[in-house]
């Protein structure tokens, strides 16, 4: 049976990093909190690289890009469908007008 992956909150990660920054070793902080030292080191590295964007939440930036691409494709399909329907409506209106002219002509010739 596999162990479920644990997700830690941003506040928890920042609290762990505060302990590390206060002078406690990474190994000790990890041991006290039941974490692997490599995980704490990775959090520290991520935070040092970009404190504002660190631990911003689950998800990957490519998901947003994929969603935008999907919506752009949908807009394209809807545009093409709209153009097709406009053209079809013009054709049908032309046929209706032609049918009206024919029926008037038939009435007038009788």
Cα 54 from Cα 50, distance rounded (Å): 6
Q: pLDDT grade, residue 92 (50/70/90)?
A: very high
pLDDT at res. 94: 94
Kindly list the domain boundaries of the chain, sorted by start residue.
7-56, 59-110
More confident residue, 97 or 60: 97
pLDDT at res. 62: 67
Cα 109 from Cα 104, distance rounded (Å): 9
Share above pLDDT 70 across residues of the chain, in percent, rounded to a whole number: 93
Alpha helices in 5-60 (DSSP H): 10-21, 26-33, 37-49
57: its two tokens: 């939440």
Q: What is the pLDDT of residues 17-56, one digit of tens each?
A: 999 999 999 999 999 999 999 999 999 999 999 888 888 7
Whole-structure pTM value? 0.50
């Amino acid at each position: 049976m596999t162990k479920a992956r644990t997700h830690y909150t941003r506040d928890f990660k920042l609290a762990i990093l505060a302990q590390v920054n206060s002078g406690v070793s990474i190994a000790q902080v990890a041991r006290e909190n039941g974490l692997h030292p490599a995980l704490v080191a990775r959090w520290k590295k991520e935070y040092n690289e970009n404190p504002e964007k660190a631990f911003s939440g689950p998800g990957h930036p490519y998901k947003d890009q994929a969603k935008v691409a999907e919506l752009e494709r949908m807009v394209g399909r809807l545009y093409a469908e709209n153009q097709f329907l406009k053209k079809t409506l013009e054709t049908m209106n032309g046929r209706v007008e032609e049918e009206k002219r024919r029926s008037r002509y038939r009435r007038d010739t009788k």
